[in-house]
Chain A
Amino acid sequence: MKTNRQRIVILVLLLTPVLFIVKATDSIAVKKFLLEFRVGYNVGAYTPLPIPQEIRKVESYLPTFNPSIELALWYPLNNRWGCSAGVTYKNRGMETAARVKNYHLIMQQDEAQMEGYFTGITQTKVYTSSLLLPINMTYRLSPKWRLHAGIYGDYLLYGEFSGSVSDGYLRHNTPVGIKTEITAANPASYNLSENMVKWDVGAQVGCNWSLFSKINLFAEFGIGFFSIFEADFEAVSFPMYPLFGTIGVAVNY
């Protein structure tokens, strides 16, 4: 089980070299910090990786409204290399419907639980608001292009994970257990928002493309290292990772 403490330790270990670089270069260069303000939009999914065999088809996918804003300090070390650190407020989420076969689930409502194997449609809605602390190394390819890669710490401010199962049947306890129909008219819904973990650590890569001297377009791709549920959480039998792309506009000062 990955505890929150482990997440924080990993984050600190990953951050240390970057912090040292910032510290070491501090004294040499009196070069100016650049303040970068970013507004972006995120598209992606919280998804198991790889997709488990039980998921037969993704029937629908709809991103929720996922804006993000970021304030970053960018510090050029030399002509090519630099580093940056920032703070981001990010909304991520999606609604999906998937056709599953023999999908192990535990429905837990307060003290009661129902365990079984479901075949049919699962609908899932995930929506989160998080505070991210990204730290990047940057590399200037050309006057127009700048690449960056780094890691981030992710603190969940608000999380919703809800859904329902329908259009199918549940086999109670085992695949040969009692079979119960679950129809679209009577779906069984669940809400696992309270079981979401607060901390995550992830990595991102991206690029900036200079549109005007102070205005850049950027694109970024990020992935979380940890599931949004604790590893021993039984209700969802596989880990779900945030996998999101961001595009937006960055303004430099």
Chain B
Amino acid sequence: MKYAYFIKACAIFLLVNVSACIKDEAPNAEADIEYLLIKNDSILVNKADTLVKIGTESNQIIIKVLPGSDLRALSPTFILTKGAVVSPASGTVLDFSDNKEHTYTVISEDGKWTKTYTLQFRDPKINTAYSFENAELTAPQNKFYSFYELLADGTKDNLWASGNAGFMLSQYSALPEEYPTAPYALGKNGFCAKLETRSTGSLGAMVNKRIAAGNLFIGSFQVEAALTNPLTGTRFGVPFNYQPILLKGWYKYAPGGVLQDTDGNPILGQTDICDIYAVFYENTQQLDGTNILTSPLIVAVARMTNATACSEWTYFELPFVYQKQVDTNKLNNYQYNLTVVFSSSKNGGQFIGAIGSVLLIDEVEVTY
């Protein structure tokens, strides 16, 4: 017994000594805008945007405002990482009218790191016909592509999101074309979107996320939960003020060799299948991968049920099946969201799929 006490005494002695050696905390090296606060909620399409959590995957902040809002004197305020400073200062009154974009620079507490953000307030209007001709490497990493839309007035709209940022964490040396979601030259017309289920390698296996299905959707992707609960990171939909009727377009699909389950074991006798759907829902809450097809907020769904492997461009036309009445007043005030979702592996969200499944998508349109 005495011996055990001695060991404990030694351990405590060591711990105390080690603790005594701990140095003073270094000043913070992070330089983030963590939250954006908008005091005047009457201009906002989404009233929840009075307090917006800002992700770290993009330095571009765009807030949707109701058409005709007065944006000449807004004073956005920020919550920054501890000790960081921003210029222009939080609360500075600036003119954001006519899509004016303002740049904010955040400097970390230790002064060694800076991050530059742009902030813009924009009309919620979106395109409804998509040719996937426009893609660019995504700042600030410039490792993978994002698709964007060109609006009628020539401005870029980052309508489309994908899980590419999550894939980057696992396969940092991958080329932009090797990401699950990328542009591809051999489209129906010009370029198309190529979605391919990829292996996330040994780092992905480490966190039990062995594959990354190619996905492309209207909405945004937050990478913060990519290693823990990635379904919550796919934030589906943007405000839409029309009642959608059809989702139509062209696709090609080739399933990969071996369908595998979450643990990487082969699922024998089954082949992978793609998923194509659109959801129209009441936007009192932003739906994500956990509830996009199950939420009571859903008003209408258009979903492909007969997807097959096809080596030629194949036309699809999916009607929105309405489960609820649409309120015209809500519609006019952008109180519904629309999302369109493509995935090269239907169960990719559960990390079930076949590596090498390829879905090509082109010339998509939502009619209303």
Contacts and interface: CB of A to CB of B under 8 A. Distances in A.
A199 interface: no
A58 B206 contact: no
B223 A175 contact: no
B18 A51 contact: yes
A250 B6 CA distance: 18
Contacts of B32: 176, 179
Given A109-B202, A245-B10, A176 B228 contact: no
Which DSSP category, helix, strand, loop or mixed, fits chain A's interface? strand
Contact of B202 (A55, A101, A112, A178): A112
A102 B57 contact: no
Contacts of B157: none
Contact of B165 (A58, A113, A178): A178
Contact of B31 (A110, A176, A186): A176
Nearest to A175: B29
A53 B23 CA distance: 5
Interface string A172-183: 101111111111
A188 interface: yes
B296 to A, nearest CB: 28
Interface stretch (A6-14, A39-47, A136-144, A149-157): A39-47
Interface residues of B, number: 47
B22 A188 contact: no
Nearest to B16: A58
Which of B56, B165, B208 has the most C-beta atoms of chain A within 10 angstroms of its own C-beta? B56
A189 interface: yes
A189 B226 CA distance: 16
Nearest to A187: B207
Report the contact-size class of chain A (Cβ under 8 Å from the partner): 35 or more
B6 A247 contact: yes
Contacts of B7: 41, 43, 63
A177 B169 CA distance: 11
28 contacts: A43-B11, A50-B21, A51-B21, A51-B22, A53-B25, A55-B22, A61-B15, A63-B11, A102-B29, A107-B203, A110-B201, A111-B202, A113-B172, A175-B108, A175-B113, A176-B113, A177-B141, A178-B141, A178-B168, A178-B223, A179-B32, A179-B224, A181-B224, A181-B225, A185-B228, A186-B208, A188-B207, A190-B206
Interface of B: 3, 6-7, 10-11, 14-15, 18-19, 21-26, 28-32, 56-57, 108, 113-115, 141, 165, 168-173, 201-203, 205-208, 223-228
Given A114-B170, A186-B208, 6 more contacts: A61-B15, A109-B201, A109-B203, A176-B31, A180-B169, A189-B206
> What are the 8 tightest A-B residue pairs by CB atom distance, in nearest-first order?
A109-B202, A175-B29, A179-B56, A112-B201, A110-B202, A43-B10, A51-B21, A112-B203
